Amino acid sequence: MRVLFAVSPGLDHLYPSSGLAWAFRTAGHDVVVATSGVSTKAAAEAGFAVREVSPGADFASIFPRAGSPLERARAMRERGLAIAKTLQTPDIILEKFSRVSDLMVEGTLRFAEAWQPDLVVYSRLNGAALVAARALGVPAVEHGFSFLREGTMPQRFLPHLAPVYERVGVPHELPDVTSLYFAPEHMMHGEGEGWTIRSVPFHGGGTLPDWMAEPKRRARVCVTLGTTVPHVAGVGSLDSVLDAAAGVDAEFVLALGDDPELDSLGTLPGNVRVVGWTPLSTLLTTCDAIIHHGGAGTTLASAHAAVPQLAMPHGADNWINAAMVERCGLGLSREPGEVDGQLLKRLLEDEDLRASTRAAAAALRAEPGPDQVVPRLLGLTGR
């Protein structure tokens, strides 16, 4: 069988579906990733055949960085709180991703018509995939990357995609869509029906540094804000974390990607190590705790690694995820300014919390893996 993975630009759209893509490959099926932007190189480096569907497209113009970092942080926070209240993606995001889809649709459709996949698996919000699946008359599988079900997402997205369908001459209708959730039911929020798949945490490959190949001398805490927050709002929200870290007997690994803008943080404490891009899922195997922004991928990877979490919501679905972290016994949730040394010591020393994270990780391992979902997906094609 041929399976087309149609993925929007963005590592948080690509990486969650990588486990399923590899499950298809190891089951003997052909897989191609149709994507664009930063996801093109990342998918190739992950070992997949990739088709760049919109080379040179200016996606940055759809998501401009307007205003100061403080103003952008405030806007990010307001949108995130709205998502937490409504449990659904706001219309402004659907509109923006309809524009992303418009830039990707011709290349996605042309490749799909030439390659003739039997199934299209797409990252949520990739409207070009819906167009291609409808044009070919094949089933589409929406691969989630958050703890929100949003069962009506395709129907809500469809009106925004009307100009995209019309421009390429495809009937303005949805294909048959099946939803895959990347976390078990007890972690999910919102309404909708779908299949649960055990996510395989993946954050890209890379050569591990010497310090990760040596025994730890003391406890280690990962500190990350993902890829979006530093770009949009900067890293100033880490001030209280770093101030508190100076008084804690632990090593704090500041994992903010390559070339982060750290000037606003001033002189860092001596127990803070700044690292470039490091595969998070592997880094977590060496850590005793993690402090993060509440991103869905980071939250789930930390849960799989049985690492106690301190979630500090910044935007998007972060408040939903942070609430789930506390509800499911995965860690703690605080606003960035509420972090102090006592809280960090609790994160590292609370034995009940550590036991709870180990139990949660064991429950995650019991969920059906991608290899077990592949046969069900084959059934959607009638094969």
Question: Digits of tens for pLDDT over the chain (383 positions)?
Answer: 999 999 999 999 999 999 999 999 999 999 999 999 999 999 999 999 999 999 999 999 999 988 988 899 999 999 999 999 999 999 999 999 999 999 999 999 999 999 999 999 999 999 999 999 999 999 999 999 999 999 999 999 999 999 999 999 999 999 999 999 989 999 999 999 999 999 899 988 888 999 999 999 999 999 999 988 988 888 989 999 999 999 999 999 999 877 777 877 889 999 999 998 889 999 999 999 999 999 999 999 999 999 999 999 999 999 999 999 999 999 999 998 899 999 999 999 999 999 999 999 999 999 889 999 999 999 999 87
Nearest to 330 by CA among 281, 294, 375: 294
Could you say which DSSP state residue 369 is in? Answer: P
Residue 152 lies in a domain: yes
Query: Are 38 and 102 found together in one domain?
Result: yes
> What pLDDT does 163 receive?
97
Are residues 302 and 371 part of one domain?
no
User: CB of 194 within 8 A of CB of 151?
Assistant: yes
List, as one string, the DSSP characters of 138-186: --EEEE--SSB--TTHHHHHGGGGHHHHHHHT--S----EEEEESS-GG
Quote the pLDDT of residue 95: 98
Residues 191, 239, single domain; the answer is: no
On whether residue 78 sits in a domain, the answer given is no
Number of domains in the chain: 2
| Whether residue 339 is found in the same domain as residue 371 | no
Are residues 224 and 351 located together in one domain of the fold? yes
Return the amino acid letter for 255. A
| Token pair recorded at residue 156 | 């809500």
Q: Which of 293, 264, 259 is nearest to 277 (CA)?
A: 259
- Looking at the structure, do residues 248 and 138 belong to the same domain, yes or no? no
Please indicate, yes or no, whether residues 187 and 226 belong to a single structural domain of this protein: no
Answer yes or no: do 130 and 187 share one domain: yes
Q: How many CB atoms lie within 10 A of CB 358?
A: 13
State the residue range of the domain holding 18. Answer: 2-70+89-198+367-380
Angle at 314 between CA 309 and CA 315, to 5 degrees: 120
